[in-house]
Amino acid sequence: MPFSLGANLVPGTYQVCEAIPGPAWNMSMNLDPTAFMPNVDTGATLCVPVTLAAGDNLSLSFDNSPPPGGIALTIGYVALLGTLGFFIDTVLYIAALTRAGRYRRWSVITAVSFGGALVFMFIFMKVVYLSLPIGRPPFASVSLLLMQWMGIR
């Protein structure tokens, strides 16, 4: 979204700010090394300082794009489900989606991915009695071991 500054402005330093569109969005403004968040508590706005001298005109352009990979990751998840089995595929899917969302703490990503896949597997197989793909060898052995551990026959 291009816009221009400079008409009828007093020389000085200004802040050009933009509302952050949502989690994990790519913002070209974020690539500017001088970009900052004026209110760190909410983190809802990103700004860059702009200095204008007398008679200056400045044209700025910002580009925002949605988070990458969601559809491709889902297609990959479905394609690999029969080979990897529900548990391993779901661990990888949750981790990949979390990472695509720009979360960077691998310890948390790992814990949430494994924990989430175990909870889903338990609910679907033990509570709802839904049959899930166990995968092909050698991946099937992981599913069978977990099923035995959870008391699923």
Indicate if 59 and 76 belong to the same structural domain: no
In the block, residue with structure tokens 């990888």: 92
Closest by alpha carbon to 60, among 120, 106, 17? 17
Indicate if 61 and 76 belong to the same structural domain: no
Residue 15's H or E segment, with its range, is strand 12-19
Number of Cβ within a 10 Å radius of residue 109? 18
Indicate if 81 and 106 belong to the same structural domain: yes
Tokens representing residue 14 in the block: 């200004």
At residue 79, the 3 state secondary structure works out as helix
Indicate if 45 and 77 belong to the same structural domain: no
Indicate if 56 and 119 belong to the same structural domain: no
User: Domain end: 13, 39, 65, which one?
Assistant: 65
Indicate if 90 and 111 belong to the same structural domain: yes
Burial (Cβ within 10 Å: 0-12, 13-18, ≥19) of residue 114: middle
Q: How many domains does the chain have?
A: 2
Res. 2: pLDDT tops 70: no
pLDDT over 90 percentage in the chain:
46
Indicate if 52 and 77 belong to the same structural domain: no
Indicate if 61 and 48 belong to the same structural domain: yes
Dump the DSSP string for 77-102: HHHHHHHH-HHHHHHHHHHHHHHHTT
Res. 115: pLDDT tops 90: yes
Indicate if 146 and 76 belong to the same structural domain: yes
- pTM, full prediction: 0.61
Indicate if 86 and 115 belong to the same structural domain: yes
Q: Give the HSE-up count for residue 2: Cα atoms under 13 Å, Cβ half-sphere.
A: 3
Tokens representing residue 65 in the block: 């794009």
Q: Which domain holds residue 84?
A: 70-150
